[in-house]
């Protein structure tokens, strides 16, 4: 891919930047305490999987200034290297999220002109903003990024938020705070089948597909016009249109279109547009791929499987005493559920080197879901490849990411046990040469709803959002092996507190997650909360769909109801 050259440039600049930073580090005090004492580390005596299927035991890895310098059992260790003893630890290449939106904010809604005509809205209002760069809406300090890094992700292609053509993607690294952490800009043009709602054109998939075709065709004509104008006199000047110009790198096949799809029908629709127009395509958010595997292969489309798995609604359904019809219907849901879990295995079997997208998924589910996919036929090597080498190849960054070799970015996941084994925990994540440490003192309990901490009771929480600090109460009860609860919060409509039911309460080890919805201004906002409980304290994050992620901390109220 010719992307590579651009990356090389970025990488060069980036390494230079790190070096400069490093050289000035000695002379100054560091009130933040974040600056590293050294950028050189050696991790000793670990079991290192340099790429899927290639594992060496009792090996060392030397990283310096964000790059892997050497991997092996016999390497020279420079004296400035900080030594990390890693006996009994397992090292893997850092995970790559081939399409994510952690840290990506929503652009402000474009203002409608006074002569707004819903049948012909300005591009910006209609969600047609392919000229936008996701980086303009990216907050590298977002707690969402910490959430994903905590489970092993070190690098991501981030997609912009918006309508049918929200803008251009970029590739970022989940490294330290000193850097912009940008590896490459304008890496793909994002597209999806949803417009900005039905109130304006294009309102449905019908309109979106027609509009995409028209834009593509006119981008071709506009580019042709520009070329003619550049080489001839006496021609009318081209009308410069930033929407059409934003298509040019796609027309030239310098970047792919990354199409957000859901099921097989949307995959077919995206591939129909691809076939008609001939662009390079990445399908992102793939589910239900089984009927279209041949179609995907024929189109040579790249596949990003959704990390989200459906909820199991039938496992606990007791239908033995129900009618035959209910039993038969339940059996079909069960089959559909099992087929959904098998998607990764089916793609592997078909020889499609897929990667994952985190969009729509929760970081806390990552390792659980990967294990489910493996139980359903995905090989461990393919699972690791989907997190490392495959996304590197799909994004065209395999020269410097995806595996652990000399000269590659120092991105790795360091675990207490082999990656997909039951009690594997992440002890460190190294991203861009920065080491992030995690608490592995508490053993997880396998995640089947068993809590090692008492979650039930009344909690008082506070959350800090840009709008200020607010708080309320969470009341969690245990009913059988399930948790129920309610949460109070400042009523968005004003006037005291409002309350919502806590849904999907999931307790695993000392990890607690749940969601609830808040109705504000006529719409329902989904809020996802996740974090860890230590003793009587909960510290975590609250994710508001489209608005960002904010810290949420809670303490248990010590009264008799909590006994």
Partner 1 sequence: MNKTHYILAGLFSMICFLSQAQTQKGSVLIKNATVLTVTNGTLENTDVLVENGVIRRIGSNLSASNVETIDASGQYLMPGIIDAHSHVALDAVNEATSPITSEVKMADVVNPYDVGLYRALAGGVTVSHAMHGSANAIGGENITLKHRYGSGNPEDLFMKDAPRTIKFALGENPTRVHGRGNGNQPRTRMGVEAVIRNGFNEAIQYKKTWEAYNEAKKVKGATPVPPKYDTRLQTLADILDGKVIIHCHSYRADEIYALINTCRDFGITNIVFSHVNEGFKVAPELAEYTMGASVFADWWAYKFEVYYSTAYNAAILTENGVITSINSDSGELIRHLYHEAGKAQRYGELNDEQTLALITINPAKQLGIADKVGSIEEGKQADLVLFNEHPLSVYAVPQMTFVDGVKYFDINSDPDDMRLRVSASETVEPIFLKEHDHKCMHGVDFFFTNFGRNLFDHSH
Binding-site member from 145, 258, 340, 347 for partner 1 (CB under 8 A): 340
Binding mask 35-54 for partner 1 (x = CB under 8 A): --------------------
Binding-site member from 77, 336, 520, 545 for partner 1 (CB under 8 A): 336
Binding mask 141-180 for partner 1 (x = CB under 8 A): ----------------------------------------
Min dist CB 370 to partner 1, Å, is 18
Binding-site member from 10, 225, 399, 477 for partner 1 (CB under 8 A): 225
Identify which of residues 9 and 235 has a Cβ nearer to partner 1 in the complex.
235
Closest to 409 (Cα-Cα) out of 81, 39, 20, 1: 39
Identify which of residues 150 and 225 has a Cβ nearer to partner 1 in the complex.
225
3-state secondary structure of 262: coil
Min dist CB 312 to partner 1, Å, is 8
Q: Find tokens 């596949």 and name the residue.
A: 303
Identify which of residues 317 and 453 has a Cβ nearer to partner 1 in the complex.
317
Phi-psi sector, 41: left (phi>0), alpha (psi -120 to 50), beta: beta
Residue 311 in the binding site for partner 1 (CB under 8 A) = yes
Quick one: which segment of 20-28, 203-211, 443-451, 542-550 binds partner 1 (CB under 8 A)? 203-211
Residue 365 in the binding site for partner 1 (CB under 8 A) = no
> What tokens appear for 514 in the block?
């749940």
Q: Rounded to the nearest 10 degrees, how much is the dihedral formed by the CA atoms of 53, 54, 59, 65? A: -100
Binding-site member from 264, 348, 365, 432 for partner 1 (CB under 8 A): 264
How far apart CA 347 and CA 302 sit, in angstroms, is 11
Min dist CB 251 to partner 1, Å, is 14
Residue 206 in the binding site for partner 1 (CB under 8 A) = yes
How far apart CA 49 and CA 41 sit, in angstroms, is 18
Quick one: which segment of 63-71, 97-105, 262-270, 496-504 binds partner 1 (CB under 8 A)? 262-270
How far apart CA 315 and CA 320 sit, in angstroms, is 13
Residue 339 in the binding site for partner 1 (CB under 8 A) = yes
How far apart CA 195 and CA 173 sit, in angstroms, is 30
Which residues ranging from 367 to 396 are in contact with partner 1 (CB under 8 A)? Answer: 376-377
Min dist CB 290 to partner 1, Å, is 8
Q: State the DSSP H helix or E strand holding residue 549, giving kind and residue range, or none if neither.
A: strand 548-556
Cα-trace Rg, the chain: 25
For 192, 256, 294, the CA distances from 207, given in Å and listed in that order, are 12, 22, 27
Residue 291 in the binding site for partner 1 (CB under 8 A) = yes
Identify which of residues 311 and 479 has a Cβ nearer to partner 1 in the complex.
311
Residue 228 in the binding site for partner 1 (CB under 8 A) = yes
Min dist CB 308 to partner 1, Å, is 11
How far apart CA 372 and CA 82 sit, in angstroms, is 37
Identify which of residues 70 and 372 has a Cβ nearer to partner 1 in the complex.
372
How far apart CA 196 and CA 190 sit, in angstroms, is 15
88 beta partners: none
How far apart CA 6 and CA 268 sit, in angstroms, is 32
Binding-site member from 338, 422, 526, 537 for partner 1 (CB under 8 A): 338
71 beta partners: 61
In order, the DSSP letters of 50-78 are EETTEEEEEEEEEEETTEEEEEESS----
3-state secondary structure of 404: coil
How far apart CA 325 and CA 555 sit, in angstroms, is 48
Residue 298 in the binding site for partner 1 (CB under 8 A) = no
Which residues ranging from 88 to 147 are in contact with partner 1 (CB under 8 A)? Answer: 117-120
Cα angle value 306/526/118 (rounded, 5°): 85
* CA 259 to the chain's CA centroid: 15
Residue 329 in the binding site for partner 1 (CB under 8 A) = yes
Do the beta carbons of residue 304 and residue 354 sit within 8 Å?
Answer: yes
Identify which of residues 372 and 453 has a Cβ nearer to partner 1 in the complex.
372
Identify which of residues 16 and 228 has a Cβ nearer to partner 1 in the complex.
228
Quick one: which segment of 56-64, 329-337, 387-395, 553-561 binds partner 1 (CB under 8 A)? 329-337
Task: Point out which residues bind partner 1 (CB under 8 A).
Answer: 117-120, 198-207, 209-210, 213-214, 217-218, 221, 224-225, 228-229, 232, 235-236, 238, 264-265, 268-269, 272, 288, 290-292, 310-314, 317, 325, 328-330, 332-333, 335-340, 342, 376-377
């Amino acid at each position: 891919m010719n992307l590579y050259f651009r990356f090389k440039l970025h990488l060069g600049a980036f390494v230079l930047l790190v070096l400069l930073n490093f050289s000035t580090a000695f002379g100054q005090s560091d009130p933040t305490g974040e600056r590293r004492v050294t950028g050189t580390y050696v991790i000793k005596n670990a079991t290192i999987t340099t790429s899927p299927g290639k594992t060496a035991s009792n090996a060392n890895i030397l990283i310096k200034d964000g790059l892997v310098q050497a991997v092996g059992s016999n390497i020279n260790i420079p004296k400035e290297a900080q030594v990390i003893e890693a006996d009994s630890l397992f090292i893997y290449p850092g995970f790559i999220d081939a399409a994510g939106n952690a840290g990506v904010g929503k652009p402000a809604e474009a203002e409608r002109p006074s002569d707004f005509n819903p049948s012909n809205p300005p591009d910006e209002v209609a969600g047609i903003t392919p000229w936008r760069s996701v980086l303009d809406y990216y907050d590298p300090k977002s707690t969402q990024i910490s959430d994903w890094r905590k489970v092993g992700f070190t690098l991501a292609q981030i997609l912009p938020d918006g309508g049918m053509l929200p803008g251009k993607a970029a590739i970022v690294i989940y490294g330290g705070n000193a850097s912009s952490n940008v590896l490459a800009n304008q890496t793909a043009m994002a597209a999806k089948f949803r417009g900005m709602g039905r109130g304006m054109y294009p309102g449905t998939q019908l309109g979106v597909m027609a509009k995409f075709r028209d834009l593509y065709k006119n981008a071709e004509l506009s580019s042709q016009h520009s070329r003619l104008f550049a080489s001839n006199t006496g021609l009318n000047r081209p009308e410069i249109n930033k929407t059409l110009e934003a298509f040019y790198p796609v027309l030239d096949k310098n970047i792919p279109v990354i199409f957000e799809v859901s099921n097989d029908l949307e995959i077919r629709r995206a591939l129909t547009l691809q076939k008609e127009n001939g662009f390079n395509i990445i399908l992102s958010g793939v589910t239900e791929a089984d009927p279209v595997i041949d179609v995907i292969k024929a189109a040579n489309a790249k596949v990003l499987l959704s990390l989200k798995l459906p909820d199991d609604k039938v496992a606990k359904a007791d239908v033995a005493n129900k009618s035959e019809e209910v039993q038969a219907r339940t059996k079909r849901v069960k089959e559909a559920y099992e087929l959904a879990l098998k998607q990764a295995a089916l793609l592997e079997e078909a020889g499609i080197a897929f990667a994952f997208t985190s969009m729509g998924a929760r970081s806390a589910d990552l390792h659980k879901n990967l294990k489910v996919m493996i139980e359903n036929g995905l090989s461990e090597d393919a699972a690791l490849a989907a997190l490392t080498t495959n996304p590197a190849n799909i994004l065209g960054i395999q020269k410097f990411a995806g595996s652990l070799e000399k000269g590659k970015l120092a991105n790795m996941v360091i675990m207490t046990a082999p990656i997909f084994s039951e009690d594997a925990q992440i002890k460190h994540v190294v991203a861009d040469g920065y080491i992030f440490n995690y608490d592995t003192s508490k053993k997880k309990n396998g995640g089947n709803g068993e809590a090692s901490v008492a979650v039930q009771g009344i909690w008082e929480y506070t959350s800090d959002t840009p709008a200020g600090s607010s708080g309320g109460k969470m009341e969690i009860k245990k009913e059988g092996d399930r948790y129920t609860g309610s949460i109070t919060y400042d009523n968005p409509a004003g006037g005291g507190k409002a309350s919502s039911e806590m849904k999907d309460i999931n307790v695993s080890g000392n990890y607690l997650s749940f969601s609830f919805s808040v109705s504000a201004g006529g719409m329902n906002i989904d809020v996802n909360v996740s974090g860890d409980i230590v003793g009587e304290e909960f510290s975590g994050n609250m994710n508001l769909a489209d608005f960002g992620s904010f810290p949420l901390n809670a303490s248990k109220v010590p009264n008799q109801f909590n006994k």
